[in-house]
């Protein structure tokens, strides 16, 4: 992992609802579609919360060290069982 990616992750990983990140720069997502010509650090959250409802310390900045961030809501992540019913 490139050093700047790790540095950004360390700055956002403990913010409210954050559950993951892209690991590399990706295309920005707007209304569910990737935007060509963009390169952002994606921060995955369980739920997006309006800025006015977040504590100041939990706001994910628009950019860090010149790298644009994209907050992407993906919901809760749950492990699936490896068992299944045989019929």
Mean pLDDT of the 58-63 span: 96
User: 67-73 and 33-45: which strand pairing?
Assistant: parallel
Residue 2 CB-density burial (10 A; 0-12 exposed, 13-18 middle, 19+ buried): exposed
- Lookup result for tokens 């900045």: 61
> Using CA atoms, how far apart are residues 32 and 47, in angstroms rounded to an integer?
15
pLDDT at 87 over 90: no
What would you measure as the largest C-alpha separation in the chain, in angstroms?
Answer: 56
**In the chain, what percentage of residues exceed pLDDT 70?**
92
Q: How many C-beta atoms surround the C-beta of residue 45 within 10 A?
A: 19
- Amino acid 77: pLDDT: 82
**pLDDT tens for each residue of 3-40:** 889 999 999 999 999 999 999 999 999 999 999 999 99
Going from N- to C-terminal start, the domains of the chain cover 3-73
């Amino acid at each position: 992992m490139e050093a700047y990616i790790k540095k950004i992750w360390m700055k956002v990983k403990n913010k409210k609802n954050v559950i993951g990140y892209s690991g590399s720069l990706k295309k920005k997502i707007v209304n569910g579609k990737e935007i060509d010509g963009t390169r952002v650090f994606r921060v995955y959250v369980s739920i997006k919360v309006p800025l006015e409802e977040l504590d100041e310390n939990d706001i994910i900045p628009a950019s860090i060290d010149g790298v644009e961030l994209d907050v992407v809501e993906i919901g809760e992540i749950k492990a699936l069982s490896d068992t299944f019913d045989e019929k």
